[in-house]
Structure 1
Amino acid sequence: MEQLKQRILEEASILSTDVLKLDRLLNHQVDPELTMEMGREFARRFEGEGITKVITIESSGIPIAFATALTLGVPLVFARRKKTLLAEPDAYSERVPSFTKGIVTDLMVSRQLLSPDDVLLYIDDIIANGDAAKGLIRIIERSGAKLAGLGIAVEKTFQPGGRLIREQGIRVESLVRIASLADGKIAFE
């Protein structure tokens, strides 16, 4: 997706050879038109898959997942990272490390929101090591729902996340694939 690549070159910050800061695009500030364009592209790529719901993890995945769900005309479900007073005690839950946040969190999805009749499209902003994705995939598997695939706005291919998910036989569609952040430069595949 050329528009997203261009915006990354103009607005992203390289913090290290592993970390790309996308606060002006995806993680802190959201460009509604770019976000809708990403949602339309994911909807196009997964058209005809019988998607019944889009699923993501709070919080950075929500805008793109919302745009995708709106385009597909289906509900959006997001995994929470924090328990609330209203959380179900028997919600689906997985403990996962977060590469970006440097902490371990619990992903939780209400059992009432997923069923074996669902065909889910998992949308997220970035994949690095894939730990959060693997955790949400385990929740989806336990629910009995079918996973049509994973749509990622930015895949860092120099980290193993996308490859590990593909090795599980899961379709992964990335809008932008970054091969390297070496020498302070973004190298796209």
Structure 2
Amino acid sequence: MDKLKQAIIDQGVVVSDQVLKLDALLNHQVDPQLTMEMGRQFADLFRSEHVTRVVTVESSGISIAFATAYELGVPLVFARRKKSLPAESEVLCERVPSFTKGMVTDLLISKEFLKENDRILFIDDIIANGDAARGLIRIVERSGATLIGAGIVVEKCFQPGANALRESGIRLESLAKIASLEGGKIVFAD
């Protein structure tokens, strides 16, 4: 998506050769028009897979996942990072490290929102090492549902997450692939 790449160039801040800050675009402020375009793009890529639910991780993936779910006409389910006050006894939980937050968190989804006959599309904002993605995939697998693929807005190709998922047989589609952040410059892979 050329519009997305331009927004990354215009609004992204290279923090280091490993970290790209996208607060003005994805993680703190959201561009509604661009987000809806990204949702349409993901929906078009996965429409033939007969998705029944879109899942994501709280919180930065929610807007893109919502736009995708809207375009596909299916519910959005997001994994919480902590339990809500009314304790849910029937939850699927995975403990995962967060590359950007530098800590370990729990991902939780209530069992009532993932069923064995579901066809799940995972949508997220950025993939680096892929720990959150792998945790969410384990939750989907434990629910008995079928993961049909993953849509990622920004893939950092120089980190192992996306390739590890592809090597495990998961279809992963990225809207923007970044080859390098070295020298403070954003270099796209395609």
Matches within 5 A, 1:1-189: 1-189=1-189
- In 2, Cα distance between the equivalents of 1:74 and 1:113? 12
Letter of the structure 2 residue corresponding to residue 117 of structure 1: N
Listed as ranges, the gaps of 5+ residues in structure 1 are none
- In 2, Cα distance between the equivalents of 1:47 and 1:91? 28
- In 2, Cα distance between the equivalents of 1:66 and 1:51? 14
| Displacement over 6 Å in runs of 4+ | none
- In 2, Cα distance between the equivalents of 1:115 and 1:34? 31
Query: TM-score when scaled to structure 2?
Result: 0.98
Residues 69-110 of structure 1: per-residue CA shift (max 9 Å, x gap): 000000000000011112413310000000000010000000
Residues 146-189 of structure 1: per-residue CA shift (max 9 Å, x gap): 00100000000000000011111000000000000001100001
- In 2, Cα distance between the equivalents of 1:174 and 1:118? 23
Residues 11-36 of structure 1: per-residue CA shift (max 9 Å, x gap): 10000000000000000000000000
Shift of 1:47: 1.2
Letter of the structure 2 residue corresponding to residue 39 of structure 1: G
Letter of the structure 2 residue corresponding to residue 149 of structure 1: G
- In 2, Cα distance between the equivalents of 1:102 and 1:160? 17
SS of alignment partner, residue 46 of structure 1: helix
Aligned-pair identity (%): 66
- In 2, Cα distance between the equivalents of 1:101 and 1:12? 18
Letter of the structure 2 residue corresponding to residue 106 of structure 1: D
Query: TM-score when scaled to structure 1?
Result: 0.99
Letter of the structure 1 residue corresponding to residue 130 of structure 2: G
**Aligned pairs, how many?**
189
- In 2, Cα distance between the equivalents of 1:87 and 1:37? 36
Shift of 1:132: 0.3
- In 2, Cα distance between the equivalents of 1:16 and 1:182? 7
- In 2, Cα distance between the equivalents of 1:43 and 1:85? 34
